[in-house]
């Protein structure tokens, strides 16, 4: 469950960075052109960490999405405020609004964060040494 939520949310966050974060009439700016690149790098790093430590360190697997999701969420919240300040300045009479990519990246960041919490609430079963030895004797 945790891995599915993590991977889907990571994909949504990255797709959001490829879409416009700011729409201003004829002008639009993609997330990847600015702070969205940080989100892409954070998500890529968390995917690498997930694949390296998925069997060995469940604690790392649960903490990483919380950190990455939290940082990504902070980045998107700051971007929301920046776009809002642009719209109050009203560039050349154009209406400035939040783009769909900013919403997607925010939802993806929230999902990544939640996947870490799900991992802590449902930790993977860890076999004890005695259980492993008993399985080996039976086989």
The model's pLDDT over 83-110, given as tens digits with 9 standing for 90+, comes to 877 666 655 556 778 889 999 999 999 9
Q: Is the pLDDT of residue 127 over 80?
A: no
Give CATH for domain 2-138: 1.20.140
Q: Range with the lowest mean pLDDT among 93-97, 118-122, 131-135?
A: 131-135
pTM above 0.85, yes or no: no
Q: Is the pLDDT of residue 130 over 70?
A: no
C-alpha gyration radius of the chain: 20
Please list the helix, strand and coil fractions of the chain in percent, rounded to the nearest 5, in that order. Answer: 75, 10, 15
Distance, CA of 112 to CA of 99 (rounded, Å): 21
Domain limits, the chain: 2-138
């Amino acid at each position: 469950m945790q891995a599915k939520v993590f991977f889907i949310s990571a994909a949504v966050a990255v797709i959001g960075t490829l879409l416009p974060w700011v729409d201003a009439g004829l002008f639009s700016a993609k997330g990847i052109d600015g702070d969205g690149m940080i989100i892409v790098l954070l998500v890529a790093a968390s995917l690498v960490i997930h694949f390296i430590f998925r069997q060995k360190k469940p604690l790392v697997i649960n903490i990483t999405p919380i950190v990455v999701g939290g940082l990504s969420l902070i980045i998107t919240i700051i971007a929301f405020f920046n776009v809002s300040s642009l719209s109050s300045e009203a560039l050349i009479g154009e209406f400035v609004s939040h783009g769909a990519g900013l919403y997607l990246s925010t939802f993806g960041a929230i999902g990544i964060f939640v996947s870490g919490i799900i991992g802590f609430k449902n930790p993977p079963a860890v076999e004890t040494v005695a259980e492993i030895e008993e399985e080996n004797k039976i086989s």
